[in-house]
Amino acid sequence: MPQIPAHIPSRIRRTLGRALFALSVAGPWLAAPAAAETPSLNLYSARHYPGDEALYAAFTRATGIAVRRVDSDDAGIVARLRAERAASPADVVLLVDAARMAAADAQGLFLPIRSAKLEAAIPAHLRAAPTPQGTTWFGFSTRARVIVYDPLRVKAEDVATYEQLADPKLKGLLCTRSGSHPYNLSLFATVIERLGDDKGQAWLNGLVANMARPPKGGDTDQIRAVASGECGLALTNSYYLARLVASDKPEDRRVVERVRVVFPNQATTGTHVNIAGAAVARHSKNAEAAVRFLEFLATPEAQQYFANGNNEYPAVPGVKLDNPALRALGGTDFKAETIPLATVAKNLTKVQQMLDHAGYR
């Protein structure tokens, strides 16, 4: 420690001495550079699939950016974002249905972004409509809304289209989950977009008239109900059936053996597909990393994680699908509908009112 000259008064010398001692102790710490923090982003996710952990780890390996995840269902994530507002730590929001993505977008929860990579990779009908500020959300995997049926009670040609589900010849055979569930709402909105309101309302009335029982349960419950004979046919997302196909459980194998699957509307408009989608959170503090994450989700590597982790279909055209369960359903060799999901999502409130009018629970 430096010496203080003797001619300086003792009172001042004592004060300077204490100050110099403090500096001599603190000096090494003050001079040391601060340890660099590991870059990270905060993800609010409604996906809860084991394969997603490997997906996030792959992103971290590729970029050095850690992913801190908060899990909830779609409604919980939207409620949290609304409550947190500008104080939200969320950087990326990942939801599992176009209807839910559109509803959150309508509440101003997403940040419009511009990304040439995403616009080149994700087909226009699987993302939000662009605005002058950018695009708010993108779909990164798809799931087909298929029809399963009992071949002992129903002919494949009688369930070749969604429109046929309202045919009186199927009276007492149809099972679905709640009409208000987003999976059904998105499908119904798409069909009504094509048919128009009057024919669409008649179609919904026909579905209700053909019910084997009031809507209940989830998609897997509908498949099991067909296998048990409670129903003759049902609507389900493709990955629920693929899970049963991939299962080693004897009871699941028996279900698969009892049912058949149709990808509807192959000769006309194509099978309805929905998405798992992601967006940059409106108040992201790390939007650059968030965009990098979304761009990574569109890479062939990430698209394979979606396909193999939850039996979904790649959203990016041309990605080779290597999933035995999906191959058993026909692989990717089916015609998918291309009505923009963003357009369909605008009609959800109207469709819900039409469901209420039809008495569709």
Give 276-289 pLDDT, tens digit per residue.
999 999 999 999 99
Residue 12: CB atoms within 10 Å: 10
Give 34-83 pLDDT, tens digit per residue.
344 678 999 999 988 777 888 999 999 999 999 999 999 999 999 999 99
- For residue 93, give Cα distances in angstroms to 3, 81, 83, 124, 296: 61, 9, 15, 20, 15
| Domain 40-142+273-323 grouped into CATH 3.40.190.10 | yes
φ, ψ for residue 40, nearest 5 deg: -150, 165
Give 179-225 pLDDT, tens digit per residue.
999 999 999 999 999 999 999 999 999 999 999 999 999 999 999 99
Binding residues: 48, 239-240
Average pLDDT value over all residues in the chain: 89
Contacts of 213 (CB under 8 A, 6+ apart): 175, 230, 231
Residue with tokens 């695009």: 135
Binding residues for Fe cation: 48, 239-240
For the domain with range 143-271+345-358, which CATH number is right: 3.40.190.10, 1.20.1250.20, 3.20.20.140, 3.40.50.10490? 3.40.190.10
328 Cα distance to chain centroid: 23
- For residue 56, give Cα distances in angstroms to 140, 239, 293, 358: 14, 21, 9, 43
Domain extents in the chain: 40-142+273-323, 143-271+345-358
φ, ψ for residue 160, nearest 5 deg: -80, -15
Q: Alpha-carbon torsion 173, 169, 147, 250, what sign? A: positive
Give 3-43 pLDDT, tens digit per residue.
544 544 554 445 444 444 333 333 332 333 334 467 899 99
Stated as kind and residue range, the H or E segment containing 275 is strand 273-280
Contact criterion met (CB below 8 Å) for 212 and 234: no
Contact criterion met (CB below 8 Å) for 160 and 266: yes
Considering only CA atoms, which of 80, 7, 17, 6 is closest in space to residue 43? 80
Domains 40-142+273-323 and 143-271+345-358 in one fold: yes
> What is the biggest distance separating any 2 CA atoms in the chain, rounded to whole angstroms?
112
